[in-house]
Amino acid sequence: MLNHLHIRNFAIVPTLDLDIREGFTAITGETGAGKSILVDALGLLLGERSDASWVRSGAERAELTAEFSVTDNKAAQEWLDEAELSADGCCLLRRTINTNGRSRAFINGSPVTLAQIQSIGHLLVEIHGQNEHLRLAKTAEQFRLLDGSGNYLKEIARVKTTFTNWQQTAQQLDNLEAESFLSAADLEFLNFQLAELQQHDLGADSVIALQTEHDRLAAGGALLDALTLSIELLEPEASIDNGGINADINTTLGQLQEFIPLDTDIGEACQMLQEAAVNCGEAINSLRATRDRIDLSPSRFESVVKTLDQLHDLARKHRVRMDELEAVQDNLLIRIENAGGSEQRRSKLQADLETYLSDYRTAAQNLHKKRQQHATELSNRVIELMAELGMAGGAFELALKLNPQTNPSPRGDDELQINISANPGLPPGPLNKIASGGELSRISLAIKVSVAGRGESVTQIFDEVDAGIGGDTANAVGRLMKRLSGNGQALCVTHLAQVAVCATHQLQVRKFSADETTVVETSLLDNDERVDEIARMLSGKISEQSRAHALELLRAANTAS
């Protein structure tokens, strides 16, 4: 539910704060007062494209904020949780538009993409305008209305599951066909490439060890001389007078040992010298071991160089790094094995594909039966409401057709089309070719009321969908708006007094000039103010006669509700 709307420097609005209540709220005011600006602001907050023209003249940027409660909107709450944007049952949408046309979007204070704000926007608000038929003509929207108000979630889930099984198996079969189609020459070439690679140990550790050995052998005599000199410096032969580092450390320890109790620093120094003596001994052993295993034979060096050259050539041939040759070898082996055993695997996948297709067709048929029953019930409810809206004798049909020959889809095998006739005696046809704009607006309202209470609780906004109607039909529109809001919240921008009197709340939008600037303000009307506003809507001016008529309409609406 929409709780609050804040607008700053947007179009002709310098600043506006608007609290919205639950139920049915009518938004009224003089023509050009700025009523539709509120709808435009919400549209941008829900992800519509922006441009610099929306920024108020003289301002640096426009700022829009809408606060929603999502405690009764499970789908929106789950979306926020999954996106890690939850905030204790609140969803705060914010958008800024700069004078260069660029905009930024935020959800609960975190920056988001336009696609993200559009995604959550569809779960929070539905905006209906006089071009509603353009959306209703889309197949996806028709299925959303039908399935969103039906009670067959298990059947929908079963179709999606069986479709996924079929799709994945079909993809595996396609991949197999692409990989396993090898001519005799192709197979011979792959085996040749594999044999070249299998001559070498291509494990990552083996390649690294070979490169290290090459570097060691390349160092040759210089490395051996360095090792020998280092050993002699650390621990000279007995014939040399100098006893080496270890001997000096041990002599130092002997001199200091008796004085350890006299000073803690001496004790710490002796401990470090003991550790140094141990480390020096281990270092000497490691250096000797390295010296003893060094093989400086030219033949070994030549062998290592030759092997590395071969690996470099193979890496260039396959256009990979040398440490990736093992992966190339594995892929070649898989391709060859697939080519050899592809018939057996192909037969298995084809059998699985037929099974999954059969499961899918059965699930799609079961879903069709559920849909057909619900489509009939929903169509009858819409026809009843059309009669209330001045289209008695009209027809409405959610025409379902099962097409089991079509390609599988996660939606099933159904084809759906909305057929209508707004006048008695005329055969129903596609809604975008039969009805006028005003009739489509009323039919859209009838559909929304028919499915209300069967989906998530979202805010419904109607922008002058009552244009071109009057009399008792206008009264019916108002009553249906009130009924629709019973499921949560509905807002309607209207010029009709008959619609406004049915509202739970009434917001008046006024535009006036102050200090050489245009100001737009809104106010929630109390009972007396509503009488005056309804009187103005009825006759264009407030008089005793128009006030009496307004009061009569308000009383009648309250009695009817």
Write out the H or E segment, with its range, that includes residue 4: strand 2-10
Mean pLDDT of 142-148: 89
- Tokens describing residue 416: 């759906």
- The sign of the dihedral angle between the CA atoms of 174, 175, 178, 179 is negative
d(CA 196, CA 464): 76
What's the DSSP call for residue 55? B
Residues forming beta bridges with residue 518, ordered by sequence position: 513
Whether pTM > 0.85 for this model: the answer is no
Query: Helix 244-256 crosses helix 264-293 at what angle (to 10 degrees)?
Result: 160
pLDDT > 70 fraction of the chain, expressed in percent and rounded: 89
Higher pLDDT, 414 or 455: 414
Judged against a pLDDT cut of 80, whether residue 471 lies above it is answered with no
Q: Residue 379 — pLDDT band, cuts 50, 70, 90? A: very high
Q: Residue 460 — pLDDT band, cuts 50, 70, 90? A: confident
Judged against a pLDDT cut of 60, whether residue 241 lies above it is answered with no
pLDDT at 179: 66
3-state helix, strand, coil in the chain (%, to 5): 60, 20, 25
Tens of pLDDT, residue by residue over 499-510, are: 999 999 999 988
d(CA 10, CA 61): 8
Tens of pLDDT, residue by residue over 430-441, are: 876 765 666 777
Spans of all domains in the chain: 184-338
Judged against a pLDDT cut of 80, whether residue 265 lies above it is answered with yes
Count of residues making up the chain = 561
pLDDT at 394: 87
